[in-house]
Amino acid sequence: MRSHLPIRLLVCVALAGSAALAAVTGSVEAAAVGHTSLSCSHFAGSNVGGTWPGAGTLSGCTGTALTQTGTGGTVKLPQIGSPSAKVTWSTGKTSILKTYGDAVITNSCPNRPGYLKVLEDEHWGLVTGGTASGLVGVGAVWRGFFCGYKRTATSTYELFVNLGPVVF
């Protein structure tokens, strides 16, 4: 399972949202505790050369958290062994994401020229801190599906993209 740790960590970064997960876990509860929602249509990240931490970007974000997040941000992928990632939103505010679960699922990731598709991974967790305070609190979760790609069968993961929205 450790071989999938880098993508799990990347995914936790990308999954800074909970709009879709709130729908699964109860959007009424999420609204009741006063935190905002966000859904980002695009995530791309990499650790070119296999060096960690990697980096990524979230974009196409919509929802009630826009005044705190803007329409996107940059993601600093965590060091291997660390379950937390940091998003710096276009507004300058931040979110700390912690991954509590992941599952490698049937690989429905599209082919990408020049890459081998390796896996599709679902990640979920909590937004545990940061200055984008509307995304933090009871019910402040994130969830997303991600695709991991390599240039060769023996290289480390070099490209991560979302498959569907990353929700907060």
Residue that has been written with the tokens 């402040």 in this structure: 140
Q: How confident is the model at residue 79 (pLDDT cuts 50, 70, 90)?
A: low
pLDDT at 72: 96
List the domain boundaries for the chain: 2-167
**Mean pLDDT to the nearest integer, 120-131:** 86
Residues comprising the chain, all counted: 168
- First and final C-alpha spacing in the chain: 26
Report the distance separating Cα 113 and Cα 148, nearest Å.
Answer: 13
Q: What percent of the chain has pLDDT over 90?
A: 22
Question: Is there a contact between 36 and 18 (Cβ–Cβ < 8 Å)?
Answer: no
Q: Which amino acid is residue 153, in one-letter code? A: A
Q: Is the pLDDT of residue 20 over 50?
A: no
The highest-confidence range among 17-31, 41-55, 57-71, 95-109, by mean pLDDT, is 57-71
Q: Is the pLDDT of residue 62 over 90?
A: yes
